[in-house]
Amino acid sequence: MWKCGICAQKHDGLATVFGAQAPDPWLQAPPAAREGGELNADMCVLNIEGDWHYFLRGHIEIPVTDAPGDVFAWSAWVSLSEDNMQQIAHHWESPARASLAPMFGWLCNELPYETSTMSIPALVHNREPGLVPFIQLDPSVDHPLVKEQRTGIALHRLAEINQVVLG
């Protein structure tokens, strides 16, 4: 049983989405920098030492190999260029958002792995309004998270992740 961070209800079974409410640079920024920036559920803009940084929330989806059709997702933030962020913002409510070309970004959350997940290169694939963008980690990177996204995880591993995150 686990308590949902969105609806505050208790649910049976394993949680299949965990994530950060903000990119780590936002969480680490001094209050004055956050006051000059903006954070909502999907996008973040932050001025760090005179340079503007742009972040988008998406899902790193990982198939659950012994539960066909089930997917576990890390809800995480990636950095994007200013031009890409403007393009996404311009198309945010448009069905055409799904047809935007994949956009390069860097993972900007430290997820609970022994090796750091910060700055893993990724492509952001936008989807229709109402669907969280898909984060495709660079498959050439030698990291356990990248391998899990590529090959999937078993229910046992999902239970381990639940234990680590929920305590």
pLDDT in tens, 115-167: 999 999 999 999 999 999 999 999 999 999 999 999 999 999 999 999 999 88
C-alpha separations of 71 from 5, 23, 140 in Å:
19, 23, 22
pLDDT at 5: 53
d(CA 146, CA 142): 7
Spell out the residues 6+ positions from residue 60 whose beta carbon is closer than 8 angstroms to its own. 73, 74, 76, 107, 135, 137, 145, 149
In 3D space, the residue among 60, 56, 119, 120 whose CA is nearest the CA of residue 88 turns out to be: 56
Half-sphere exposure at residue 131, Cβ-oriented, CA atoms within 13 angstroms: 15
Residue 63 tokens read as: 């198939």
Sequence-ordered alpha helix ranges (H) in 16-140: 24-28, 31-36, 82-91
* pLDDT tier, 10 (very low <50, low <70, confident <90, very high otherwise): low
